[in-house]
Amino acid sequence: MSESTEKPTIYKGLVGVYADVSSISKVMPETNSLTYRGYAVQDLAENCSFEEVAYLLWEGELPNQQQLEAFKAETAAEREISPALHRVIKEFPADAHPMDTIRTAVSFMGLEDPETGDISDAAQRRKAKRLFAKIPTAIGAAYRASKGLEPLAPNPKHSFAENVFHLVQGRVPEPEVLKAFDVSMILYAEHTFNASTYTARLVTSTQADMHGAITAGIAALKGPLHGGANEAVMHMLKEIGDPAKAKDWLHGRFDHKALVMGFGHRVYKSGDSRVPTMTKYAEKMAEVVQDRTWMEISRILAAEMLEKKNIHPNLDFPAGPAYHLMGFEIPLFTPLFVASRITGWSAHVLEQGEDNRLIRPLSWYTGPEQRPVPPMASR
């Protein structure tokens, strides 16, 4: 195909561009709804475990009891990370961001995985499950190493949610907290062609492997316009500190035309389908901890953003305070998003692999006309 001589329409940020078909999830911004494989995400959050949803995303159907037990046993057996990775993690700088450490750990897992270079569907599925199982162990080990603590061994009897708390915090909290965390994992699991998922698909389109695609997805998720927003939300709430200061703080942002983190979305313009469910569970966490400060500031910001700017919150807005109330430190919020989104990313890697074509768009050149290379003396 030759490049056009007339400037074509440029879809900056690929706004409104359908880049491929997908049968994994569907966003319906007109009704603020989202389905995974045909099931409404809020129904999955209320009625299923994260393990069931992971299985659904990969296999296309919810598991029956027997399939679920087999899936849990298979992934629980893969939770340990290697002694070599534990040694590497101990060498990470103590002040490294946990998104950088989990990105590096996943890349390292690719060096060790016996099937790294095998991009057959069966091998890619096995690698996806291994990453799903090992990522919380690596997050926990890196977090604890940064505090001078020894890593904890994963417990194969724990659910996914119990295991994350155990590995990071060294405790398993009460059932309401585990449920709220599991809901966050389900809501974060998948969201069509968002920036990190599209990154993973683009890497896959070159016939690169699963670990490469997921490492790239993690890099894309870190940015504050995407997954990094859940951390930025909590920094913002802490900076405001007091519900009485929320409106003035927000008006100051308006004066500087500054972004307010956790608001706005490329696809949803009248409300993010996941926000009501996550807000409900964040409120429950505020009750458990008996601290309403963060949810009260959030309520004031959301009402004022809607009234003055007509901009709605996105999932990161309630997820930030929910994770804080669950006892996680702020730099762990986006790595927790990774622990969930590995399911959606890898489902897309598998789908891209089924019917692959190299992703390679065009750019419209705006640089200098062709010119001779001047000799060094005349530059």
Residues that bind ligand ACO (CB under 6 A): 13, 225-227, 229, 259-266, 311, 314-316
C-beta of 12: minimal distance to ligand ACO in Å? 9
C-beta of 254: minimal distance to ligand ACO in Å? 8
Q: Do 360 and 256 touch, CB atoms closer than 8 A?
A: no
Check if 191 is active-site: no
Kindly write down the DSSP assignment for every residue of 29-46, as one continuous string.
GGGTEEEETTEEHHHHHH
- Cα 304 to Cα 19, 252, 266, 299, 307: the distances in Å are 35, 13, 20, 9, 5
C-beta of 323: minimal distance to ligand ACO in Å? 13
| Residue among 128 and 261 whose Cβ is closer to ligand ACO | 261
Q: Which helix (H) or strand (E) holds 26?
A: strand 25-28
Check if 265 is active-site: yes
Say which of 166, 211, 265, 348 is annotated catalytic: 265
Q: How many whole angstroms separate alpha carbon 149 and alpha carbon 129?
A: 27
User: Which token pair is 21?
Assistant: 């078909």
C-beta of 229: minimal distance to ligand ACO in Å? 4
- Cα 332 to Cα 96, 263, 318: the distances in Å are 12, 20, 15
| Residue among 76 and 232 whose Cβ is closer to ligand ACO | 232
Say which of 158, 191, 226, 312 is annotated catalytic: 226
Q: What is the largest CA-CA distance in the chain?
A: 77
| Residue among 177 and 189 whose Cβ is closer to ligand ACO | 189
| Residue among 225 and 303 whose Cβ is closer to ligand ACO | 225
Kindly write down the DSSP assignment for every residue of 166-222, as one continuous string.
HHHHSS---HHHHHHHHHHHHHHS--TT-HHHHHHHHHHHTT--HHHHHHHHHHHHT
Length reported for the chain = 379
| Residue among 101 and 194 whose Cβ is closer to ligand ACO | 194
Say which of 113, 182, 272, 316 is annotated catalytic: 316
C-beta of 355: minimal distance to ligand ACO in Å? 26
Q: Cβ-closest residue to ligand ACO?
A: 264
User: Which token pair is 17?
Assistant: 């561009």
| Residue among 119 and 322 whose Cβ is closer to ligand ACO | 322
C-beta of 237: minimal distance to ligand ACO in Å? 13
Q: Do 297 and 194 touch, CB atoms closer than 8 A?
A: no
Residue 373 CB: number of other CB atoms within 10 A?
6
**28 secondary structure, DSSP code:** E
C-beta of 14: minimal distance to ligand ACO in Å? 11
Q: How many whole angstroms separate alpha carbon 190 and alpha carbon 194?
A: 9
Helices (H) and strands (E) in the chain, counts: 16, 3
Residue 279 CB: number of other CB atoms within 10 A?
21
Residue 256 CB: number of other CB atoms within 10 A?
7
| Residue among 105 and 260 whose Cβ is closer to ligand ACO | 260
**245 secondary structure, DSSP code:** G
Q: Would you name the residues annotated as active-site residues? A: 226, 265, 316
